[in-house]
Structure 1
């Protein structure tokens, strides 16, 4: 049995460094879920609770029994596996097995045969297909690309249904003659990959370790510890792979292990090859790497918290409008923080949002961290799926409407919250 706790760093006593909680936690068995400038979310075993309390850190409990929270997910999932996921829209009321995600996405594509095809960026370490949908509107494919992918980190279960819901809205809206949706698909080609990390995401996390993050690649032969599997796919991109020692780890046992070299995670190499081809053939208008949790809209750069891209003004302006519209339509008072990832969150190297901007030459590049802000964290209850996916579609309608607006000329307030 494990507790998950939220440590509020901003409320520490004067003179206590932000690194101090991490240093004190090092004495305990624990797993960091999320780390930001003002807080850390950690899971600790029950037998460590007394020692944790003795540290005197300001905290609140997110999960008093993480195992019970995970078990409730499994109960709902096994129930809904017996349902027909193509009727009455109930798909977005539960989590599902990996094989069902493939079937659901295939049915979406097959329902839109004249304007889509089934695609793949390649295969995972264990040989699973990194599947996706390519969609377009009038006059056929070949327009500037919108590239979305998710479930790079295996434990972020809310991401796949979010991308599935947005895809469904595009398909259904286009077929029903919705003017806004038809404008989107007539203007851009969409490439949508809901599960980039299939070996761990919805396979390993559903059978072995619900909180696994990395891929399932064995450690390098030269590694001191041969029991530590996995590379962090979102620390394995080529651009600024090793630009900041705080941005990733060279320790194979770390959750942010970057690998031996850029692109040595097959999932990353496959996606990188795919996007480079798209860049050369049609150009990339918009890139989003979807994650959870924290409710953030992040843009370049991650490796240097003091370096801002020239496009920051329009990126943050669009993010502000997205956040406002989501909040106005939210049943859960969902608000998003936005800005350059290195400044808003923490330094990150070898990440997709920087690489696809710098190497892929994407005009717009974001990482979106979905709900929540820590009440449930990675183990978001099934009843929160539908509100999350619906709010995400609201935000994307705003963003897609702004991509070619002439008043987004690169100038404007380079302000982030």
Structure 2
């Protein structure tokens, strides 16, 4: 069913709320995503008038966002549309209604309609049969094909089966309103093919030895729905829930809260309320869009995934379900992501000037049933969420952070600054424990948990160690005396911490014995010898 058949105007508009810790918790409990659209002590929410009235009864003070001309986000979007309802750069995925023509004049034999993204992607695959294999990985709620493209040398050769080489998945557009991300994913796809054809040695080496998979639009119904009048800020899929004609705020499931890992963990990281934008669905993996992504993750066994979102200018990685919770594989994430002073995705040019701050997923707020936590914990696929650039009203963007400007130069600038990180991840798939970083970062063999005071005798000491090093022995001295050794055991995790997320590193523990209060203890670990 085309998106236009459901378009009745969802009533969602952009509001801003001044926040503190209590306000953030309440907004999360009301089903608003607190991991995106935060700037300083303010957060943007997309809400209906009824939702805003409810928030005001709770003591919150949402204020509608308006630009310098006094236009709300929806009014701005209607203004920047071309006469035929299309846009200069942005195009729908499958429904051609708002694809438009090159000059926005009526379609004719001499002025043909522009391609949808699906048409563009299938044509690209047909023109590059030696490198690109199209795979329909599933269908949406409304039956729209969800297309993945496998890019590797001899992509369609029967002996070169899917998943037989180290693999990376670049996915995008789980959230319908985040228009910058399908543009980035499709540009990365074109870049890889074009650079391979042009003889780029690094890209040639990657494509010859690695599978790069692209899912440009993971939520096709929702994305096409945002091109229909009054629905630019729609986020979810088009699951009919409330039983009323047309798609309304009480419909839809958030595809990025529907995965089985920690699904329904709490009501802050996702919501049980269908009108909320983080509604988790009726059950884990209930949505066909989720099933398509999950099936691909399961079938291929990716080393890495990069799951593009917007808009917060962050580079997030697991875990997101619980604050201050790091995977054992965190050294790999840190090496490839960089840090606040030297981030892997740095600003480039006036159209997209800001770097993406790298953080563990729950640094800002928790999420559960989320893609990257699921990929790492269930399938051993290390995964990132680049939260891409916010809109710049002074450059033609909307007042909502999700209305990134309909500008070819600015979209290209946002894409280009993402290239170094994307290629680092691709090249690192051959040996994930020892990644390749354009920042020059390496991964340590050991990370030992230091302690300034003992908890008594015996004292447990923990180290995070590369699995490839083999068996680990702990050594220690007490007050400078003779060296003693202790075997170690892998720590399987406790009630809240540890557990999954230990693909390339594992946490091991040894025991110091024979100490007294005031003793000085030196501990170190060795492996492989």
Gaps of 5+ in 1: 10-16, 85-95
Alignment of 1:12-411 (within 5 A): 17-20=20-23, 34=37, 38-42=41-45, 63=67, 64-65=70-71, 66-75=73-82, 77-78=86-87, 81-83=100-102, 100-137=116-153, 140=160, 142-219=164-241, 228-279=250-301, 284-320=302-338, 324=343, 326-327=345-346, 329-331=348-350, 332-342=352-362, 344-362=363-381, 364-372=382-390, 376=398, 377-383=401-407, 384-403=410-429, 404=431, 405=434, 407-409=442-444
Per the alignment, in what secondary structure is the counterpart of residue 131 of structure 1? strand
What's the TM-score, normalizing by structure 2?
Answer: 0.63
Is the Cα contact below 8 Å between 1:69 and 1:379 reproduced in 2? no
Instruction: Summarize deviations over 1:75-113 as a string: whole Å, max 9, x none.
Output: 2835663229xxxxxxxxxxx98x611121122222321
Instruction: Report the Cα offset of residue 389 of structure 1.
Output: 1.6
Pair 1:120–1:18, CA change in 2 (3 A): same
Instruction: Summarize deviations over 1:95-148 as a string: whole Å, max 9, x none.
Output: x98x61112112222232112111111000000000121111269452021112
RMSD over aligned CA atoms reads 3.8
Pair 1:191–1:400, CA change in 2 (3 A): closer
What's the TM-score, normalizing by structure 1?
Answer: 0.79
State which drifts further: 232-241 or 103-112.
103-112
Instruction: Summarize deviations over 1:30-88 as a string: whole Å, max 9, x none.
Output: 99973588431135799x99x99xx997999564412342124422835663229xxxx
State which drifts further: 395-404 or 332-341.
395-404
Pair 1:26–1:153, CA change in 2 (3 A): closer
Higher-Rg structure is 2
Instruction: Summarize deviations over 1:203-251 as a string: whole Å, max 9, x none.
Output: 3443551111110011278xxxx97110111100001102233110111
Relative to total residues, which structure has the larger helix share, 1 or 2?
1
Pair 1:258–1:74, CA change in 2 (3 A): same
Instruction: Report the Cα offset of residue 326 of structure 1.
Output: 3.8
Q: Whole-Å Cα distance in 2 between the matches of residues 298 and 79 of structure 1?
A: 31
Gaps of 5+ in 2: 1-10, 90-99, 104-112, 436-441, 450-529
Pair 1:401–1:227, CA change in 2 (3 A): closer
Report the count of equivalent residues: 380
Is the Cα contact below 8 Å between 1:117 and 1:133 reproduced in 2? yes
Pair 1:319–1:236, CA change in 2 (3 A): same
Q: Whole-Å Cα distance in 2 between the matches of residues 72 and 392 of structure 1?
A: 30
Higher relative contact order by CA 8 Å / sep ≥ 6: 1 or 2?
Answer: 1
